[in-house]
Amino acid sequence: MSQNHENEEHDHFYHYEDGAFECTKPGCNVRKLRNPDGTLRPQNPNIEAIKDDFLYHLGLGAASHDLVNMFSDVQFVCMGGTSARMEIFAHYIMKEIGHSLPTGADLQDITRKSQRFAMYKVGPVLCVSHGMGVPSIGILLHEIIKLMYHAKVKNPIFFRIGTCGGIGLEPGTVIVANQAVDEMGNNYYEQKICGKVVKRPAIVDKRLVNELLALSKPEDSFKVVTGATMCANDFYEGQGRTDGAFCEHSEEDKMNYLRELQNKGVKNIEMEATIFAALTYKAGIKSALVNVALVNRLKGDQVTTPKEVMMEWQNHPQILVGRYIKKKLSENKS
């Protein structure tokens, strides 16, 4: 029989937005995602049998690298589409948390040999680019989650600091997702595995959402809102755009679709939300999707804002997540 610890607040419980939780308390039979010290349990029984589990797209191996020495102090993993953004974020967070590199040293892209993603480590913060779309971030998530396991990282928290199209929102607005849905409004990530369709719940951590929302300040130059984030499998037709190389739907079809989404509480559209929420949830990792809107899709499709303005907007999610990280690190110290 499973023991019920649901009413207790304790570090070895992992609470989910839907009320479910995983308990790692000794003696509790509830399925375990983490060990009592916060390290992750591998969810794939095959992993332990692989001698040198090679994280191919990261260019890191469980035997060829001392992953514990390199990464065990990681507490936060921040992901975003581009390598440039993640390098900027690495420099930003370094200043924010007062981390310094050894004299003469510079930030290094740890995965440069693989030439796929870019990854920077700033003390307890890992900053990684994930490319565009579900397949790309999915591969990265598999390898980063395994990295967390191999490196014995404790209670990591994952963030996606991304860009998106807003629905009825002023560009520059930050959306912290309280739900991740696909193009049909489904609250799960669907994958075909060995000829079968597997649906994995895409659950975001409501507590983390609320903590992030509380970090917005009245004096900020940008608004922070919450709502559902829609994950599309494409930037053009999949997001209802009429400016792709092909378009067999009308402007009216697009507007009807966007309004329908808006009525269902969808605030923004991007391309990674469902898999990010689903795989982190399945791994027992707290995570949040923090995106900035680059365009109001009710007003148009093209993203034509000058680069400098867009770069400034891309900082908005970084500011919010930076505040969270700084707060948590100072709480941990005291």
Ligand X SMILES: O=P(O)(O)O[C@H]1O[C@H](CO)[C@@H](O)[C@H]1O
Q: Which positions make up the binding site for substrate?
A: 239, 241
Measured between alpha carbons, how far is 77 from 279 in angstroms, rounded to an integer?
14
Which DSSP string do the residues of 3-37 spell out, in sequence order? Answer: ---TT---TTEEE-TTS-EEE--TT--SPPSB-TT
Nearer to ligand X, 211 or 234 (CB): 234
Nearer to ligand URA, 36 or 300 (CB): 300
Token pair of 13 as six digits: 């419980």
Annotated binding-site residue numbers for phosphate: 116, 160-163
257 binds, among ligand X, ligand URA, none (CB under 5 to 8 A by kind): none
> Left, alpha or beta for 195 (phi > 0: left; psi -120 to 50: alpha)?
left
165 binds, among ligand X, ligand URA, none (CB under 5 to 8 A by kind): ligand URA
Nearer to ligand X, 127 or 271 (CB): 271
Token pair of 210 as six digits: 């609320």
- By CB under 6 A, residue 109 contacts ligand X: no
- By CB under 6 A, residue 270 contacts ligand X: yes
Cα–Cα nearest to 318, from 208, 155, 162: 162
- By CB under 6 A, residue 294 contacts ligand URA: yes
Measured between alpha carbons, how far is 43 from 48 in angstroms, rounded to an integer?
10
- By CB under 6 A, residue 235 contacts ligand X: yes
Contact present, 291 and 164 (Cβ < 8 Å) = yes
Measured between alpha carbons, how far is 4 from 6 in angstroms, rounded to an integer?
6
- Tell me the closest approach of the beta carbon of residue 261 to ligand URA, in angstroms: 13
Measured between alpha carbons, how far is 223 from 137 in angstroms, rounded to an integer?
27
Q: How many CB atoms lie within 10 A of CB 137?
A: 27
Orientation of helix 83-97 relative to helix 307-333, angle to 10°: 40
81 binds, among ligand URA, ligand X, none (CB under 5 to 8 A by kind): ligand X
Q: Which residue matches tokens 């035997």?
A: 63
Q: Which of residues 228-287 bind ligand URA (CB under 6 A)?
A: 235, 239, 269-271
- Tell me the closest approach of the beta carbon of residue 284 to ligand X, in angstroms: 24
Residue of 75, 163, 226, 287 interacting with ligand X (CB under 6 A)? 163
C-alpha count within 13 angstroms, C-beta hemisphere, residue 47: 18
Nearer to ligand URA, 39 or 82 (CB): 82
294 binds, among ligand X, ligand URA, none (CB under 5 to 8 A by kind): ligand URA
Nearer to ligand X, 80 or 322 (CB): 80
| # binding residues, ligand X (CB under 6 A) | 11
DSSP 189: E
68 binds, among ligand URA, ligand X, none (CB under 5 to 8 A by kind): none
Nearer to ligand URA, 114 or 296 (CB): 296
Residue of 55, 78, 81, 126 interacting with ligand X (CB under 6 A)? 81
295 binds, among ligand X, ligand URA, none (CB under 5 to 8 A by kind): ligand URA
| End-to-end alpha carbon distance in the chain | 38
- Tell me the closest approach of the beta carbon of residue 123 to ligand X, in angstroms: 23
Rounded to 5°, angle at Cα 280 from 277 and 286? 95
Measured between alpha carbons, how far is 276 from 24 in angstroms, rounded to an integer?
23
- By CB under 6 A, residue 284 contacts ligand X: no
Summarize as ranges the residues that interact with ligand URA (CB under 6 A).
163-165, 235, 239, 269-271, 294-295, 303
Summarize as ranges the residues that interact with ligand X (CB under 6 A).
80-81, 132-133, 162-164, 235, 270-272
